[in-house]
Amino acid sequence: MKHIKLLLILGLFIIWGCSSLAYKTDFDPDIDFSTYKTYMWYAGKMPAGDALNANPLVKKRVAAAIDKALQAKEYSIGTEDAYDFVVIIHAGTREKTQITSYGYSGYGYGRYGRGWGGYGGYGGHYGGTDVYQYDETTLVIDIMDAKKKEMVWRGTVTGVVKENPDREEQEENIKNVVEKMLSDFPPEK
């Protein structure tokens, strides 16, 4: 059941608004990124729990957006024998809970009106709690140096996944998220 839920979530991937996304990047400051010109995609096996592997159509769209963003920065796909860095993409989803408590008290009214025999006081207390469960997805782009075989750059974006009305809008949303993620690649010295 959890696997089906994960497929559904990723099938509806990334309609996040810019304000609800958390972007982060990190890199190795000792790397001279200006020497990078070519890249290859990671061809190894990803862990069984990788959310992108669970939905190959979404993974293909994310990879296409990354290719387009990197090629706009004048990187090109290398050959099996000659490339400067490796691109690895993966994603994960986790269930989150938001609890909001509303507590109201101390309102009411006292006795009034003599001829009416009075109206008894009421000091009410009202409180409520809303519990909202949602899924939060994190997309990760890792850049690994081909010669050193070490990770040299990582970009992540985390946010709440909402439904996409159609494939074209999903592709546009993925493109926008990937472009924003890669806006800090290569990092400036």
Cβ neighbors of 127 (< 8 A, separation 6 or more) are 101, 102, 103, 104, 105
pLDDT in tens, 23-50: 999 999 999 999 999 999 998 888 888 8
Q: Is the pLDDT of residue 113 over 70?
A: no
Q: Where residue 18 falls among pLDDT bands split at 50, 70, 90?
A: very low
Residue type, 118: G
Domain covering 2-97+137-184, topology: Double Stranded RNA Binding Domain (3.30.160)
Q: Which of 21, 86, 89, 94 is nearest to 61 (CA)?
A: 89
Peptide bond into 47 cis (omega under 30): no
Contact (CB, 8 A) for 30 and 151? no
Global pTM exceeds 0.75: no
Q: Lowest-pLDDT range, 123-127, 152-156, 171-175?
A: 123-127
Domain ranges of the chain: 2-97+137-184
